[in-house]
């Protein structure tokens, strides 16, 4: 199905705007797109070749056009999404601009981030059969395809009659992959397939993608070409080619190693520089020798004359957060909580003891279903313990009225869209404080301050629904900050944000902790965030606290990490390879540079 | 952590194995008698059968879910219907403005049983018929596939929708939203911060969903195949024959005045 020149997808001068009436001829295509600007073309004259047989990863800042570009590969743009389109898209020998999405589905399969929206069947079997049925595959051929696809995604023994809704997030996403694999596409398009998953789910998907790219299928040899958008460096490393998008154009493209070691290009495209690349660049290694994975990096350190000396204050978080602790805020005593379900109560929190002091930054980690979010909801009384007790400043949390505890303990939900409702940013941010009885000048002052803190001042009258995800997340945070809480509980604060936005958001949280003593409890899957900002980590397993000590000690112990299914950030993994037992591991690229002697310390192999 | 299962209860009962179309015929065989007869002792029969079907099909869990609605419908009917009937027959209650005769009570009881029969029969059908089956059955009756698919999807999405609504409610309560206001106008106003995020989220989901749908090759205008398309079995013909007999019998009997007022 590939065109004769070995190119699976060829894009030429592709311009696309979500605005239906946009005049593409007069639009300014040269300007760098502002990632928070929702107007104007998203693709601005994109030229791109995806070689057949390649695994290409596409990275770039939010608003850079990554997802939009992917959607041109299976004709969703321009066939399905209304907008203004111009340009040539040739996919597997077809003119994709003149083909219906359902027609492209014969050759191109797509997996998106949100697995819930991609499951259509009421049983595992019906789900996998759905694609082949749509493509009019004869019924007798569908059975073997179901078997083949389920084993490809590592679910060969899953009960075929089981309802997908009862599966874990990772299993659901693997089922989506199976459904797409059953249509046997030549081109597989992946849009952040692991962004909504926990570390274990992510690893399972990485395995699936690896298996698909290695073409080990029995009846079918896997997709010839894969194109994937991701923010996660670990996943990007699966690919052999990389494309950086910036301002709706391909800014760099080439072999993975070449693109990912071009520190300047990565920075300019607002893509997170792989932490090892960042560290080794700072240490003075030449561009062509910058390592991507800890194992290679460790070999390079051993071959050099550098020695590793652990951080001087290992009890501190690299971001300097959570350092000052004051009075006792929360005390949890043998807390139990069960959900009522049709099949009887299901225990989510099973005997948790825990304490949080003022000024702490505590990370709450564990698998989906380990009970961490359920536990977090006890801090502001959204859940009341079935047994045991939760106290805030010595008083039982359920004894507070919501209007009392809500002012002191803010809760930022994972998805800002679950709370944004007002017409203007100001109205949205004022909602909480108004409910808590604030009015007049005091209210205005609080709202102004909160908007300034999240850097949205001046946008008071804008419609929050028109904002980017990063901005909406900040509106939600401002709505909590405006009540001037002492504690904020974050549930997955950085999901859906790109590297730059994540850093901006977490630095903001860190600043509030350092400067205003804000106490932070954060539920997260992102180990880089845990490492940088939280000096203390609580690991939940099956509703119980499995670990509650220093983050650095957790990341120093590979056997503990394996036991909890966690993966340390790359700089830590490298440090664990090269350090002495009594040295503490570095948690970030910056700490790694210091531990190995500082910037520019490397001056070539042998001396 | 929400337990968002659909109304379908997987199982292998006779009702599960029947073709969705023959099951529809059986449902009609309960609907029609409940409709044409008026006397409670006659309507009790299809109701009992519907209950038996629901339990045999494993629908107990769904009955628990809607128990409250069923009882409410039943009681409200029982209270309201006597007001629409001329009082006749022996008087049961005569307390000033409240007058209730035996005929009024029996009439109301019949109407409430009728509603209950409809609900329980429908529930038994949905509990034993997977969405795919439902869609297939509707299509087998000549209904356009696009419409059938929309109905199936709506049924599937309902629990997801409820889950999102629960999260929104918690998010707003954490921001001090008080849903227990006593003033009714205040109360309605307080629902705005709930409804807007719920609908906006649903709207965004629908967009992603329809995109994912087409990307999987879904196209109502093209030919498709059906994995596990079951043929009409002997038991299905038997079920249809039974249903026809019951419907014809019930209509004939009631037209001669049996079981009616």
At residue B189 the predicted structure's pLDDT band, cuts being 50, 70 and 90, is: confident
- Sheet arrangement for strand A409-412: A409-412, A487-491, A519-523, A361-365, A536-541, A544-550
Residue B29 pLDDT > 90, yes or no? yes
**Which of B225, B226, B228, B231 to probe by mutation at the A interface, max A CB count within 10 Å?**
B225
Residue A259 and residue A285 share a domain:
no
Using the beta-carbon criterion (under 8 Å), do B175 and A432 form an inter-chain contact?
Answer: yes
Average pLDDT estimate for A354-370: 93
Query: Quick check: is A220 in a domain?
Result: no
- Whole-number average pLDDT of chain A: 90
Record: contact A403-B212, CB cut-off 8 A: no
Q: Are the beta carbons of B39 and B156 closer than 8 angstroms?
A: no
**Residue A246 pLDDT exceeds 70:** yes
Residue A428: give the domain boundaries: 416-485
Put simply, the chain A residues between 382 and 421 with a CB less than 8 A from any chain B CB are: 382, 402-403, 406-407, 410-411, 413, 415, 417-421
Residue A35: the pLDDT is 53
Q: At residue A38, does pLDDT exceed 70?
A: no
Mutate which: B168, B186, B215, vs A, most A CBs within 10 A: B215
Question: Among A136-145, A280-289, B153-162, where is mean pLDDT lowest?
Answer: B153-162
pLDDT band (50, 70, 90) for residue A221: confident
Domain termination residue (choose one: A485, A516, A531): A485
Q: Is B215's CB within 8 Å of A339's CB?
A: no
Strands B91-95 and A94-95: unpaired
Q: Using an 8 Å CB-CB cutoff, list chain A residues near B228.
A: 125, 129, 139
Q: What local confidence, expressed as pLDDT, does residue A342 receive?
A: 65
Backbone angles phi, psi at A252, to 5 degrees: -145, 145
Interface contact B227-A373, CB threshold 8 A: no
Angle at B237 between CA B236 and CA B239, to 5 degrees: 65
Single residue among A485, A518, A533 that ends a domain in this structure: A485
Per-residue pLDDT, B157: 75
In chain B, which residue's Cα lies nearest the Cα of A188? B215
Q: How far is CA A567 from CA A239, A491, A554, in A?
A: 20, 20, 10
DSSP conformation class of A220: S
Confidence of residue B95 (pLDDT cuts 50, 70, 90): confident
Binning pLDDT at 50, 70 and 90, where does residue B91 land?
confident
Residue B199's H or E segment, with its range, is helix B192-215
CATH assignment of the domain containing A74: 3.40.50.300
- Taking only the tens place, the pLDDT of each residue in A111-150 is 998 888 898 888 899 999 999 999 999 999 999 999 999 9
Maximum Cα interatomic distance, chain B, rounded to a whole number of Å? 69
Mean pLDDT of chain B: 86
pLDDT at B144: 83
Total number of domains in chain A? 3
Chain B hits for A102, Cβ within 8 Å = 214, 217-219, 222
Does B219 or A336 have the greater pLDDT score?
A336
Pick from A369-373, A468-472, B33-37, B251-255: least confident: A468-472
Predicted pLDDT at B231: 77
pLDDT value for A275: 93
Mean pLDDT of A405-423: 92
Domain boundary (A454, A485, A516) is at A485
Q: Is the pLDDT of residue A161 over 90?
A: no
B102 CA: distance to closest CA in chain A (Å): 40
The answer, yes or no, to whether residue A4 has pLDDT greater than 60, is: no
Dist CA A113 CA A197 (whole Å): 9
The answer to whether residue A600 is domain-embedded is no
What count of other Cβ atoms lies within 10 Å of the Cβ of residue A540? 28
* Chain A residues closer than 8 Å to B213 by CB: 120
Residue A32 pLDDT: 60
Q: Is A39 in the same domain as A99?
A: yes
The confidence score (pLDDT) of residue B119 equals 93
Contact A380 B174 (CB under 8 A): yes
B43: exposed, middle or buried (C-beta count within 10 Å: 0-12, 13-18, 19+)?
A: buried
Same domain, A267 and A281: no
pTM of this structure = 0.84
What are the sequence ranges of the domains in chain B?
Answer: 14-139+232-255, 145-215
Contact (CB, 8 A) for A9 and A48: yes
Q: Does the pLDDT value for residue A56 go beyond 90?
A: yes
Q: Which two tokens stand for residue A63?
A: 């608003």
Rounded Cα gap, residues A599 and A481, in angstroms: 38
pLDDT of residue A605: 54
What is residue B52's predicted lDDT score, i.e. its pLDDT?
95
**Beta strand residue intervals within A448-495, DSSP E:** 487-491
Q: For residue A183, list chain B residues with Cβ-Cβ distance below 8 A.
A: 216-217
Interface check for A74 against chain B (CB to CB < 8 A): the answer is yes
Residues A24 and A74 reside in one and the same domain: yes
Asked whether residue A340 is domain-assigned, the answer is: no
Collect all residues of chain B within an 8 Å Cβ-Cβ radius of residue A103.
219
Is A321 within a domain? Answer: no
Q: Can you tell me the ipTM of this complex?
A: 0.81
Inter-residue contact B250 to B35 (CB < 8 Å): no
Identify all chain A residues contacting B6, using CB atoms and an 8 Å cutoff: 122, 163, 165
Q: Are residues A437 and A294 part of one domain?
A: no
Q: How far apart are CA B105 and CA B97, in angstroms?
A: 16
Q: Find chain B residues with C-beta within 8 A of A73's C-beta.
A: none
Cα–Cα distance measured from residue A371 to residue A338, given in angstroms and rounded to the nearest whole number? 10
B2: confidence class by pLDDT, cuts 50, 70, 90: very low
Number of A to B CB contacts under 8 A, please give it.
192
Peptide bond preceding B256: is omega within 30 degrees of 0, i.e. cis? no
Strand partners, A521: A362, A489
Q: For the ranges A97-111, B170-184, B204-218, which has the lowest average pLDDT?
A: B170-184
Verify that A98 and A247 share a domain, yes or no: yes
Mean pLDDT of A476-487: 93
C-alpha distance from B186 to closest chain A C-alpha (Å): 13
Flag whether pLDDT at A23 surpasses 70. Answer: yes
Q: Which whole number is the average pLDDT over A293-322?
A: 93
Q: Are B32 and B23 in contact (CB under 8 A)?
A: no
The minimum CA-CA distance between A415 and chain B, rounded to whole Å, is: 10
CA distance B135 to A497: 39
């Amino acid at each position: 199905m590939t065109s004769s020149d070995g190119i699976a997808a060829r894009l030429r001068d592709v311009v696309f705007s979500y605005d239906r009436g946009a005049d593409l001829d007069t639009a300014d295509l040269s300007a760098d797109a502002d990632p928070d600007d929702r107007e104007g073309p998203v693709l601005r004259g994109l030229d791109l070749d995806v070689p057949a047989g390649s695994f290409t990863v596409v990275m770039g800042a939010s608003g850079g056009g990554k997802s939009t570009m992917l959607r041109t590969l299976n004709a969703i743009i321009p066939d399905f999404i209304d907008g203004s389109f111009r340009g040539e898209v040739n996919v597997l020998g077809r003119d994709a601009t003149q083909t219906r999405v359902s027609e492209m589905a014969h050759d191109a399969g797509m997996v998106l981030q949100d697995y819930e929206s991609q499951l259509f069947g009421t049983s595992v079997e019906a789900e996998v059969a759905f694609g082949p049925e749509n493509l009019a595959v004869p019924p007798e051929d569908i059975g073997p395809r179901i078997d083949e696809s389920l084993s490809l995604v590592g679910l060969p023994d899953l009960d075929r009659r089981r309802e997908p809704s009862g599966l874990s997030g990772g299993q659901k996403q693997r089922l989506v992959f199976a459904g797409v694999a059953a249509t046997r596409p030549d081109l597989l398009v992946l849009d952040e397939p692991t962004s909504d998953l926990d570390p274990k789910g992510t690893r399972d998907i990485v395995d699936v993608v690896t298996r698909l790219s290695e073409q080990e299928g029995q009846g079918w040899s896997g997709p010839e070409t894969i194109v994937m958008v991701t923010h996660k460096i670990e996943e990007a490393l699966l690919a052999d080619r990389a494309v950086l998008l910036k301002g709706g154009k391909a800014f760099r493209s080439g072999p993975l190693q070449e693109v990912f070691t071009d520190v300047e290009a990565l920075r300019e495209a607002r893509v997170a520089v792989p932490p090892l690349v960042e560290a080794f660049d700072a240490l003075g290694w030449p561009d062509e020798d910058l390592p991507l994975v800890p194992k290679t990096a460790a070999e390079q350190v051993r071959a050099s004359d550098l020695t590793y000396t652990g951080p001087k204050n290992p009890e501190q978080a690299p971001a300097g957060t959570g350092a000052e602790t004051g009075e006792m805020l929360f005390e949890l005593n043998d807390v139990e909580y069960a959900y009522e379900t049709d099949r009887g109560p299901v225990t989510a929190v099973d005997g948790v003891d825990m304490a949080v002091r003022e000024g702490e930054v505590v990370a709450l980690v564990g698998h989906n279903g380990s009970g961490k979010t359920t536990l977090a909801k006890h801090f502001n009384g959204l859940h009341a313990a079935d047994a045991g007790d939760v106290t805030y400043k010595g008083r039982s949390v359920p004894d507070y009225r919501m209007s009392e505890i809500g002012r002191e303990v803010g809760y930022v939900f994972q998805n800002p869209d679950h709370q944004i409702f007002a017409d203007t940013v100001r109205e949205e941010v004022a909602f909480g404080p108004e409910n808590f009885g604030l009015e007049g000048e005091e209210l205005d002052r609080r709202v102004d301050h909160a908007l300034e803190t999240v850097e949205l001042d001046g946008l008071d009258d804008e419609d929050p629904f028109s904002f980017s995800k990063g901005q909406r997340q900040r509106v939600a945070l401002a709505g909590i900050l405006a009540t001037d809480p002492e504690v904020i509980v974050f549930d997955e604060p950085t999901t859906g944000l790109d590297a730059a936005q994540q850093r901006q958001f977490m630095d903001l949280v860190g600043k509030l902790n350092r400067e205003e003593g804000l106490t932070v409890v954060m539920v997260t899957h992102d180990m880089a965030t845990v490492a940088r900002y939280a000096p203390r980590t609580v690991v939940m397993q099956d509703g119980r606290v499995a670990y509650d000590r220093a983050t650095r000690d957790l990341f120093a112990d590979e056997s503990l990490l394996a036991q909890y299914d966690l993966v340390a950030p790359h700089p830590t993994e490298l440090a664990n390879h090269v350090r002495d037992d009594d040295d503490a591991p570095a948690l970030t690229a910056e700490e790694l540079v210091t531990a190995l002697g500082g910037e520019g310390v490397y001056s070539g192999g042998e001396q | 952590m929400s337990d968002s299962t659909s109304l379908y209860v997987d199982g292998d009962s006779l009702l599960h194995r029947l073709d969705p179309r023959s099951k529809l015929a059986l449902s009609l065989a309960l609907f029609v008698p409940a409709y044409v007869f008026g006397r409670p002792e006659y309507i009790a029969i299809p109701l009992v059968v519907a209950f038996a079907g629901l339990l045999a099909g494993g629908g107990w869990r769904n009955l628990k879910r809607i128990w409250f609605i069923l009882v409410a419908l039943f009681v409200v009917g029982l209270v309201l219907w006597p007001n629409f009937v001329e009082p006749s027959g022996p008087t049961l209650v005569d307390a000033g403005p409240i007058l209730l005769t035996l005929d009024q009570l029996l009439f109301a009881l019949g109407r409430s049983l009728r509603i209950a029969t409809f609900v329980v029969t429908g529930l038994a059908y949905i509990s034993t018929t997977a969405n795919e089956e439902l869609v297939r059955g509707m299509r087998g009756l000549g209904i356009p596939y696009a419409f059938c698919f929309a109905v199936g999807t709506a049924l599937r999405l309902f629990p997801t929708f409820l889950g999102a609504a629960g999260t929104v409610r918690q998010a707003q309560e954490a921001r001090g939203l008080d849903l227990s206001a006593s003033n009714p106008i205040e109360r309605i106003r307080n629902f705005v911060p709930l409804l807007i995020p719920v609908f906006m989220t649903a709207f965004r989901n629908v967009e992603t969903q329809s995109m994912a749908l087409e990307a999987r090759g879904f196209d109502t205008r093209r030919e498709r195949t059906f994995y596990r398309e079951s043929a009409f079995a002997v038991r299905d013909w038997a079920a249809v024959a039974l249903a026809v007999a019951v419907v014809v019998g019930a209509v004939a009997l009631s037209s001669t005045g049996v079981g009616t007022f």
